[in-house]
């Protein structure tokens, strides 16, 4: 009788240990819903210092005005000078804009976000 009780207790103990280990294995295999932080380095284009191309516009307008002033006579000289200022300003803006696009500078930033699995 005592052996039978001992065997029963041993069997119950084994079942309890195996059920505990199975429960812990099941808990560890389930994915965690806790967010974790993900960080990546990202290449970012620097903004140009003169984003409105004011320097190019002013230099182009001055050069266009000088060239336009060389032509015409009387009121025609005023019109060619004004036309030179407008055309030179537009051309100067486009030249600086093109230069800024072709010579862009970049830096790297680390950007992080929380991700859930």
Residue 21 lies in a domain: no
Residue 74 lies in a domain: yes
Residue 10 belongs to a domain: no
Give pLDDT, residue 72: 87
Domain tally, the chain:
1
Task: Report yes or no on 91 lying in a domain.
Answer: yes
Please give the helix or strand (H or E) that residue 25 lies within, else none: helix 2-29
Environment class of 64 (CB within 10 Å of its CB; exposed 0-12, middle 13-18, buried 19+): buried
Return the C-alpha torsion angle 78, 83, 84, 85, nearest 10.
90
pLDDT score at 78: 93
| Residue, of 66 and 29, whose pLDDT is higher | 66
Is residue 64 assigned to a domain?
Answer: yes
Is 80 contained in some domain?
yes
The pLDDT, as a whole number, for residue 18 is 60
Give the pLDDT of residue 32: 60
Classify residue 24: in a domain, yes or no: no
Rounded to an integer, the average pLDDT of 52-68 is 94
Domain interval for residue 61: 39-117
106 domain-assigned: yes
Average pLDDT, the chain: 82
The SS3 of residue 108 is: strand
pLDDT score at 86: 97
Reported as a single tens digit per residue, the pLDDT across 5-36 is: 665 556 566 556 565 555 554 555 555 677 88
pLDDT of 85: 96
Assign 57 a pLDDT band (cuts: 50, 70, 90). Answer: very high
- The pLDDT-based confidence of 41 (bands split at 50, 70, 90) is very high
């Amino acid at each position: 009788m005592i052996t039978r009780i001992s065997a029963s207790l041993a069997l119950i103990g084994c079942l309890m240990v195996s059920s505990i280990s199975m429960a812990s294995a099941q808990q560890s295999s389930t994915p965690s819903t806790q967010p974790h932080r993900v960080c990546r380095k990202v290449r970012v284009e620097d903004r140009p210092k003169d984003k409105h191309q004011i320097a190019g516009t002013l230099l182009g307008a001055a050069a266009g005005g000088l060239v336009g002033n060389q032509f015409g006579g009387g009121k025609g000289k005023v019109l060619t000078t004004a036309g030179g200022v407008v055309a030179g300003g537009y051309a100067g803006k486009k030249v600086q804009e093109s230069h800024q696009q072709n010579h862009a500078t970049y830096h790297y930033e680390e950007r992080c976000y929380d991700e859930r699995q």
